[in-house]
Amino acid sequence: LASVPPVRVLLQMIEASEESFPRRKVIDVLSSPYRRQAGEGSGIAPRPDLWDVWSRQLMVVSGDDWEKRLSVSGLRRTGEEPEEGEGDRKAQLALLQGEIRSLEASLRPVREAGGYRDLARAIRSLLLAEFRMATDDTREAERDRRAVSALLALLDDIERIPERVVPWPPAEGPLPWFRTLLSGQRLFLGERGAMRTPGAVIAGDLFSLRGVTADRILFLSVNEDLVPAQIEEDPLLPDEDRAELNRLSRQPGMPDALSLRRGNAAEEKLLFSLPAASSREEVAYSVLRADADGTERRPSRYLLLLISQFVGPGVFSEDWAAGSGISVLSLPRSPFTALSGPGPLSLRETELRDWREGLRPSGRAEGVPWHRIAGTLSAWADRRAGNALFPDPWRGIPVPRVASASALEELSKCPYRYFLRYMVKLLPAEEPEEGLSLNPQEMGTILHDVLRRIGRDVAEGKGWGDPTVASRRAFERFARENPTGLPGLFRIQCRGIETDVADFVEWERRRQESPDATRVEDVERAFETVGEKGLPSFRGRVDRVDRGPSGEAEIIDYKYRDGKNEKAPIDGIRNGLS
């Protein structure tokens, strides 16, 4: 029951409520066709794809970020956004804020339920108010209707639980208890739309499909690290202790009291034999040749042993496929190859095939940047054909008029990344929720902001004052505009930065007592040099400019070590200063 799409969306909504509405899960919920949009009558078509991009750019992680950060202006444009005006952008962000508020309000009664009856009624009201179901005669629609009927019947049973007999709340919490309850419920789909329908394709694991027969079975991922399953020992009662307890409690004619986890080979062999015993005509085994990193993967020892019964021991060689002489079909690695196969294509596959051919599907999905998609797919084809890094269509892109130190450093490290970022203006997709703490670059950014505020006061003649105020304002500004990771760890890192700034300010005060001391003239001074002989102009910013007693200038560039190394890497300093 929990795997049916509308029930799965319901569980996603409950999990999002438990976890303070994390960005990824919220976007998944708002993108679902099963959820009824709160702004359906506003006349504005919702764009969850743009909501995903903008929420990443605005560094939304969870909780209050939805209210605070969605109001920030100055979004960066990406190469995949349609050409929309600022009014459309604000309207979409306002629509997103309304959807977030509606989602939070609809889940509040579920979180605040005071008993089994309140919980069942709150979830039932949530289903009726926030969900919509298909009313056609397709198999998927019938499956969804059966799932919702089963869920409503389950809610009726929950509502009748006597709280005097079954304590409230459950030990693991109301919402985790409900999720666990759903995960154990089976759903009968009936004759129509189920396994007995001619031509039906059923997917499942070995446990859920035990006792099910089929004409043909495809057994996926029969690799050594998966079949047999790598069962870990019980950390509280390992196999060595289990064997000793069995020895002490063993009785004649009776089985051992405790089973050994590493000795469960019989169960794994039984599961492996089920597909062959359940297939009426044919069984095929699929083996991964390599993982995502390109590391070679081996077939399961059970599969090799089975093949050896027919072709002999040659299958145990390094090149098992050639050594055995069996029929092996190697599937192509490109996911686009299936689009040219003889089988029927879905609507999405048909559109993807049209994209690859450079055609724009007519009458569907207006607003999708077909020209960019066709250009990207064409560039992929050229790259596979061995063409140069900069194909002919890209040569019309002008070289940036002005270069910065960071851009030149990017060019020296990876020209292709420089091309994508500074010429094509494609920005990397950011995942703000993945950061647990500030990285060295972010800590350096905060430190520069603190020293800029302090240096500005010094340049105005106010002296080296208390750095606490400047530090607090810099921390607050960074927290408004960026993800900070775990709150406690962020406060610890900020306290370390504040301590370092205080030490630096104290050092500057002592330095001012010298007769040859310099005075701060300016901070964050911008400059630009004119390029010559076809070279772009160079633009930069100086952290601080000091003047000596005789009028000489001293250029100061702040570097902040990352805390793991004794000093900042000297090569990086040289590149930045040069």
Secondary structure (DSSP) of 39-71: TGGGS----HHHHHHHHHHTT--STTHHHHGGG
Quick one: 11 and 84 in the same domain? yes
Query: What's the total number of domains in the chain?
Result: 4
Distances (CA, A) of 188 to 133, 157, 216: 19, 18, 22
Q: Which helix (H) or strand (E) holds 549?
A: none
Give the whole-angstrom CA distance, residue 79 versus residue 1: 40
Please report whether residue 455 resides in a domain.
Answer: yes
Q: 25 and 167 in one domain?
A: yes
- Domain match, 471 and 573 both: yes
Q: What is the pLDDT of residue 79?
A: 38
User: What's the DSSP call for residue 554?
Assistant: E
Take residue 236 and report the two structure tokens written for it.
């509280």
pLDDT of residue 83: 45
Q: 1, 35, 185: which is closest to 107 by C-alpha?
A: 35
Sign of torsion over alpha carbons 458, 463, 465, 469? negative
Domain final residue, candidates 303, 324, 345 = 324
The answer to whether residue 426 is domain-embedded is no
Instruction: Note whether 234 and 369 are same-domain residues.
Output: no
Q: Which amino acid is at 350?
A: T
Q: What is the pLDDT of residue 499?
A: 92
Neighbours of 30 (CB within 10 A): 19
pLDDT of residue 359: 67
- Asked if 357 and 273 sit in the same domain, the reply is no
Any idea which residue has 């269509």 for tokens?
A: 393
277 and 359 part of one domain: no
- The CATH number covering residue 292 comes to 3.40.50.300
225 plus 175 within the same structural domain: no
**One domain, residues 463 and 548:** yes
Angle CA 310–316–319, to nearest 5: 110
* Domain-embedded: residue 412: no
Structural domain that includes position 261: 214-324
Structure tokens at 360: 């724009």
Do 479 and 339 share a structural domain? no
CA 297/CA 289 separation, integer angstroms: 5
Contacts 24+ apart (CB under 8 A), 25-33: 26/66, 26/100, 26/103, 27/51, 27/52, 27/55, 29/103, 30/96, 30/99, 30/103, 32/5
340 & 241 share domain: no
Kindly state whether residue 198 falls inside one of the protein's structural domains.
Answer: no
Q: Which is nearest to 123 in space by CA: 4, 220, 10, 20?
A: 10
Is 199 part of any domain?
no
Beta-bridge partners for 545: 522, 555
Answer yes or no: do 319 and 337 share one domain: no
pLDDT for the residue 400: 73
**Residue 388 domain flag:** no
Residue 517 located in a structural domain: yes
Do residues 320 and 336 both lie within one domain? no
Q: What is the pLDDT along the chain (578 residues), one digit of tens a residue?
A: 888 889 999 999 999 998 889 888 999 999 998 998 887 777 788 888 888 888 887 878 888 888 888 876 555 544 334 444 567 788 888 899 899 999 999 999 998 998 999 999 999 999 999 998 888 887 788 888 888 999 999 999 999 988 788 888 888 888 888 888 888 787 766 554 455 667 778 888 887 777 778 889 999 999 988 888 766 667 678 888 888 888 888 888 888 888 776 666 777 888 888 888 888 899 999 999 887 667 788 899 999 999 888 888 888 888 888 877 788 888 876 767 777 777 777 777 777 777 667 666 565 555 555 555 666 666 666 666 666 555 455 455 666 777 887 888 788 777 878 877 887 777 666 666 667 778 888 888 899 999 999 999 999 988 888 889 999 999 988 887 777 777 778 888 899 999 999 999 999 999 888 888 889 999 999 888 887 777 778 888 889 999 988 889 999 888 886 555 545 566 666 655 55
- Does residue 309 belong to any structural domain of this protein? yes
pLDDT value of residue 570: 64
